[in-house]
């Protein structure tokens, strides 16, 4: 039986995303199950991978991108016992999910409770787990504390506002003006980073600053995110937006700076968060945190903001929207 997938033919612009047809379904090896993919997504992280600028991916094109998926177990391989055909599962694949079928080690998969919308469920796998782990496992913020999140109208930003509300945090978020209505409607105070100095604005709004700031922008921006912390605050860096879009900054220099600020006796700390690195170090946390998030979704305590649901065949257009910062929340790609 044939099946379709989207591949990156070479590193570059969205044009390098091409749909191809494979003539034969992949067969699960020992310890693997075959998953019929229902939904995946387009995120800034997929854009970085497509450009060849994602530090964690060493694959060379052609390969399928696709960082996350929700699907149905379609066939089980030998030496598997956790899942039956027909069960819904989720995974953070990092690459490979832009495909109708994919074989995955069953130990990596997290069951998806019945009754959840697959599009909402897939929104949790990368974006909400990232927000959740940064809040709970890295910054360990407590009720009543103040946080600043950059890119507050994006997929991780909107997730963090919703999760921050559940924790009882006071939340400030930078975003361009077009996303302020969304950011405010979720309960955060929006700051227009394009027309205001966010450092000044934070000091005017809070007096002595915030307890945690979350920075996916990098470069010189990190210094400013560090400067809005009151003691003993923490800066969590988790991306290199500016370096990727050619606005300056260097990934090795950012990591060096973070380490230096963490060592210096300044009453504040820093951390770099990577969902993949944390999963490698603490494999059980990923599945536990995702399961807890599925529970919150089932109780409607969180409600993913889905900007668009597009067919996988429109992956190229989805990447263009992300790259042009035209997305409020998440883009889900329907595979079936």
Ligand X SMILES: NC(=O)c1ccc[n+]([C@@H]2O[C@H](COP(=O)([O-])OP(=O)(O)OC[C@H]3O[C@@H](n4cnc5c(N)ncnc54)[C@H](OP(=O)(O)O)[C@@H]3O)[C@@H](O)[C@H]2O)c1
Q: Which residues are near ligand X by CB under 6 A?
A: 43-45, 48, 126-127, 130, 150-151, 153-157, 174-176, 179, 193, 216-217, 238-239, 241, 273-275, 322, 325, 327
Nearest-approach distance from CB 34 to ligand X, in angstroms: 27
Output the six-digit token pair for 279.
Answer: 């999963």
Which residue number, 124 or 126, has a Cβ lying nearer to ligand X? 126
Nearest-approach distance from CB 63 to ligand X, in angstroms: 19
Q: What is the C-alpha to C-alpha distance for residues 264 and 208, in angstroms, rounded to an integer?
A: 21
Nearest-approach distance from CB 111 to ligand X, in angstroms: 22
Which residue number, 92 or 112, has a Cβ lying nearer to ligand X? 92
Nearest-approach distance from CB 205 to ligand X, in angstroms: 16
Nearest-approach distance from CB 175 to ligand X, in angstroms: 4
Distances (CA, A) of 335 to 19, 41, 309: 12, 10, 10
Which residue number, 118 or 157, has a Cβ lying nearer to ligand X? 157
Output the six-digit token pair for 156.
Answer: 């991780």
Where would I find the beta strands (DSSP E) of the chain?
Answer: 3-8, 17-22, 32-42, 68-76, 88-92, 101-105, 110-111, 146-150, 170-175, 189-192, 210-215, 229-237, 269-272, 306-311, 330-334
Q: What is the C-alpha to C-alpha distance for residues 235 and 249, in angstroms, rounded to an integer?
A: 17
Which residue number, 177 or 231, has a Cβ lying nearer to ligand X? 177
Residue pair 7/22 in contact by the 8 Å Cβ criterion: no
* Residue 107, C-beta contacts closer than 8 angstroms, at least 6 positions apart: 31, 82
Residue of this chain nearest to ligand X (CB atom): 154
SS3 326: coil
Nearest-approach distance from CB 154 to ligand X, in angstroms: 2
Residue pair 73/124 in contact by the 8 Å Cβ criterion: no
Q: What is the C-alpha to C-alpha distance for residues 32 and 154, in angstroms, rounded to an integer?
A: 34
Which residue number, 16 or 92, has a Cβ lying nearer to ligand X? 92
250-257: list long-range contacts, CB under 8 Å, 24+ apart: 250/219, 251/55, 251/218, 254/218, 254/219, 254/222, 257/222, 257/223
Which residue number, 55 or 232, has a Cβ lying nearer to ligand X? 55
Q: What is the C-alpha to C-alpha distance for residues 286 and 136, in angstroms, rounded to an integer?
A: 12
Nearest CA-CA partner of 146 in 189, 196, 185:
189
Which residue number, 72 or 94, has a Cβ lying nearer to ligand X? 94
Nearest-approach distance from CB 272 to ligand X, in angstroms: 8
Q: Give the number of other CB atoms < 10 A from CB of residue 144.
A: 10
Which residue number, 153 or 233, has a Cβ lying nearer to ligand X? 153
Which residue number, 137 or 203, has a Cβ lying nearer to ligand X? 137
> Considering Cα of 260, then 265, then 271, then 277, what sign does the dihedral take?
positive
Nearest-approach distance from CB 309 to ligand X, in angstroms: 15
Nearest-approach distance from CB 62 to ligand X, in angstroms: 22
């Amino acid at each position: 039986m044939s099946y379709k997938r989207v591949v990156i033919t070479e590193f570059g612009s969205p044009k390098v995303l091409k749909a191809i047809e494979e003539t034969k379904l992949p067969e699960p090896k020992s310890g693997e199950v075959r998953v019929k993919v229902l939904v995946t997504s387009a995120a800034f992280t997929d854009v970085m991978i497509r450009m060849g600028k994602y530090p964690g991916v060493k694959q060379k094109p052609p390969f399928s991108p696709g960082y996350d998926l929700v699907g149905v177990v379609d066939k089980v391989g030998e030496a598997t016992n956790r899942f039956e055909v027909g069960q819904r599962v989720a995974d953070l694949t990092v690459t490979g999910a832009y495909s109708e079928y994919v074989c995955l080690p069953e130990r990596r998969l997290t069951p998806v409770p019945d009754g959840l919308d697959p599009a909402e469920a897939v929104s949790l796998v990368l974006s909400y787990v990232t927000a959740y782990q940064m809040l709970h496992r890295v910054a360990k913020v407590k009720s009543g504390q103040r946080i600043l999140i950059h890119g507050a109208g994006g997929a991780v930003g909107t997730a963090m506002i919703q999760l921050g509300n559940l924790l009882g945090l006071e939340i400030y978020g930078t975003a361009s003006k077009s996303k302020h209505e969304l950011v405010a409607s979720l309960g955060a105070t929006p700051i227009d980073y394009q027309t205001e100095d966010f450092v000044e604005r934070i000091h005017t709004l809070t007096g002595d600053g915030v307890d945690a700031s979350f920075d996916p922008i990098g470069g010189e921006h990190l210094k400013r995110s560090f400067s809005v912390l009151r003691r003993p605050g923490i800066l969590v860096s988790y991306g290199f937006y500016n370096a990727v879009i050619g606005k300056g900054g260097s990934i090795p220099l950012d990591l060096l700076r973070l380490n230096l600020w963490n060592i210096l006796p300044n009453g504040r700390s820093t951390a770099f968060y990577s969902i993949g690195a944390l999963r490698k170090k603490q494999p059980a946390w990923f599945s536990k945190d995702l399961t807890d998030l599925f529970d919150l979704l089932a109780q409607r305590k969180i409600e993913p903001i889905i900007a668009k649901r597009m067919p996988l065949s429109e992956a190229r257009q989805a990447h263009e929207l992300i790259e042009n910062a035209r997305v409020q929340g998440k883009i889900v790609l329907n595979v079936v």
